[in-house]
Structure 1
């Protein structure tokens, strides 16, 4: 079982987009049973009294444009124990990586990665909360997820 946790600031845009894009990809490839895929936040801004907000409507709409459902997903907070639970903790940008390191007590490297590294770039995945460009973020997420699957195959994990 390959366990992947995508992480962004609020867990309402980028990381759930990545979670559901990768779930769709592995299902299409017939390898879904080899994966556990989830997403989390580094901030409690979208979590009130222990209940997370649902995926931000424009992010949800962008996924739906591509036939991908994220129904039922609510924001959850990254826990230090997630480092031991998951094989890959994948942040969307450099600030996410710093927060992930602080929250888990581990540094970037073996398990902590930035998404677009898998697409051959050190760039941050654009935050559509600020840009409003959910289509651009979707394309970046797809490139990162495709790169992750290619990496797993090259490493002999698939």
Structure 2
């Protein structure tokens, strides 16, 4: 969900040429799968399309290729550090930390509450985009 929310916010700001936005799984359960249907419906409610998505596994090369690696929860951060062999450049962070919050994004896989996840992701992505554009 966060990949497509961020892409939509960047598109709305007219800055598509300034960012490369992608998502990758830190576990193997959903590899190759499209966006989970309830998440797809929540995105569609907000006019955001996610056609053609297929989940892929995060790799150590992602650490070299991206300036920021954003996790949704602490387990993601732990898995990201394991996959990347640590975080020596300080590239890994929690999405909500960019909004001044210390918590995890609500995981709808467990809660079933896609609205809460939408709210968390929207808040985090807006704050992250603001932070990144102010740095440029």
TM-score range, shorter chain: over 0.9
Please list every run of at least 4 consecutive aligned residues from structure 1 whose deviation after the TM superposition is greater than 6 angstroms: none
Report the equivalent of 2:42.
Answer: 62
Q: Is the 8 A contact 1:97 1:108 kept in 2?
A: no
Could you tell me which of 98, 104, 111 is aligned with 1:124? Answer: 104
Report the equivalent of 1:40.
Answer: 24
The separation in 1 between residues aligned to 2:85 and 2:128, in whole angstroms, is: 24
Are residues 1:99 and 2:79 paired?
yes
The separation in 2 between residues aligned to 1:20 and 1:140, in whole angstroms, is: 14
Could you tell me which of 106, 121, 126 is aligned with 1:141? Answer: 121
Question: Would you say how many aligned residue pairs link Structure 1 and Structure 2?
Answer: 136
Secondary structure in structure 2 of the residue aligned to 1:67:
coil
- CA shift at 1:108, angstroms? 7.6
TM-score, scaled to structure 2: 0.96
The separation in 1 between residues aligned to 2:86 and 2:18, in whole angstroms, is: 25
- CA shift at 1:151, angstroms? 1.1
CA-based RMSD? 1.2
Query: Structure 1 regions of 5+ residues with no counterpart?
Result: 1-16
Secondary structure in structure 1 of the residue aligned to 2:21:
strand
Deviations 1:14-62 (A, max 9, x none): xxx1100011011111111111100010111112xxxx11110000000
TM-score, scaled to structure 1: 0.83
Query: Structure 2 regions of 5+ residues with no counterpart?
Result: none
Are residues 1:31 and 2:8 paired?
no
